[in-house]
Amino acid sequence: MVERLAAVAEDDPQIDVVYGNYSPVTGSFFERCAALAYVPPMQERSGGRMRGPAIVSVLLRRSVWQSVGGFPDWRAAEDLEFMRRVEQAGFKIGWAPEATVWWQLRPDLWSTFKKFVLYSKHNAWAGQQRHWHHGLARQYFAWIIFLILAVLHSPWWALVPAIGYLGRVAKSIWIRREGRGILWALNPMQFLGVMVILLTIDLATFLGWIQSKFQSPGARQGVT
């Protein structure tokens, strides 16, 4: 992997940072649904399709690290903040789609829930809610309004959040289909699995956000 990152840097001496690819390990049905729920979709980059940028597969000059001050002292989202600083500083970035790291996802719903509670809490402590929590909260706030209308006016209003959530699940699957057809995307068991995982992550997000308000960052748990 390092050789493939280095090859991109050697081809263009002006490049300061080279990002590689990462892919989830999807050996079980749950892992396949989890990948469709929250693993970022692949994008077209110079050299091919890949995921990233990600700090798990990167080669950078020491001057880049020193210029942006390294990672902030957070327990979550520190890699995202570091990469934002690199981009804002105007360093030249290269891409190495073949430099792939394999990501082992959580194997079941309970461990996924616990992981995202911790992610949510640490992201909130780091003041990164605008990148995750706020958008989700706005979405649910809008759906709650329609549910209130369903109670006070007509049950038909409840279709709006229901269709909205089903649309979110469908979009999550579709943008990650990687060339597979509509019949694959509409697999009912897969659709249900992705929906349950997304609901679980949403619940974990709100719980972690609430916990961040009542727990001290000094008692932080590690996030892996």
Round to whole Å and give the CA distance between 112 and 9.
36
Write down all domains in the chain, each with its CATH number in brackets: 2-104 (3.90.550.10), 109-219 (no CATH)
Round to whole Å and give the CA distance between 86 and 80.
10
Q: Is 66 helix (H, G, I), strand (E, B) or coil?
A: helix
User: Residue 23's pLDDT is what?
Assistant: 95
User: Residue 11's pLDDT is what?
Assistant: 87
Burial class for 121, CB neighbours closer than 10 Å (0-12, 13-18, 19+): buried
Round to whole Å and give the CA distance between 191 and 58.
33
pTM of the predicted model, to two decimals? 0.87
User: Residue 47's pLDDT is what?
Assistant: 80
Burial class for 6, CB neighbours closer than 10 Å (0-12, 13-18, 19+): middle
The residues near 105 (Cβ < 8 Å, ≥ 6 apart) are 24, 25, 26, 31, 34, 35, 39, 112
DSSP-derived pairing of the beta strands 58-60 and 48-50: unpaired
Torsions phi, psi for 24 (to 5 deg): -80, 150
Look-up of token digits 């194997």: 107
User: Residue 147's pLDDT is what?
Assistant: 97
pLDDT in tens, the chain (224 residues): 788 899 988 888 899 999 999 999 999 999 999 999 999 999 998 888 999 898 889 999 999 999 988 888 776 678 888 998 999 999 999 999 999 999 999 999 999 999 999 999 988 988 888 989 999 999 999 999 999 999 999 999 999 999 999 999 999 999 999 989 999 999 999 999 999 999 999 999 999 999 999 987 765 455 55
User: Residue 219's pLDDT is what?
Assistant: 53
User: Residue 216's pLDDT is what?
Assistant: 78
Label each residue of 124-167 as H, E or C: HHCCCHHHCHHHHHHHHHHHHHHHHHHHHCCHHHHHHHHHHHHH
Torsions phi, psi for 114 (to 5 deg): -65, -40
